[in-house]
Amino acid sequence: MNSKIFVGGLPYAMTDTQLQELFSPYGVVKSAQVILDKMTGRSRGFGFVEMSKAEEAQAAIAAWNDKIYEGRTLMVNEAQPRVARRSNEPTPSWERR
What is the pTM for the complete model shown? 0.82
The residue-averaged pLDDT of 82-91 equals: 70
Backbone angles phi, psi at 30, to 5 degrees: -75, -40
Q: Which helix (H) or strand (E) holds 22?
A: helix 16-23
Q: In the chain, what are the domain boundaries?
A: 4-78
CATH class of 4-78: alpha beta
pLDDT at 2: 86
Task: Return the C-alpha torsion angle 53, 56, 60, 63, nearest 10.
Answer: 160
Angle at alpha carbon of residue 62, lines to 54 and 48, rounded to 5°: 60
Q: Tell me if 11 sits within 8 A of 68, measured CB to CB.
A: no
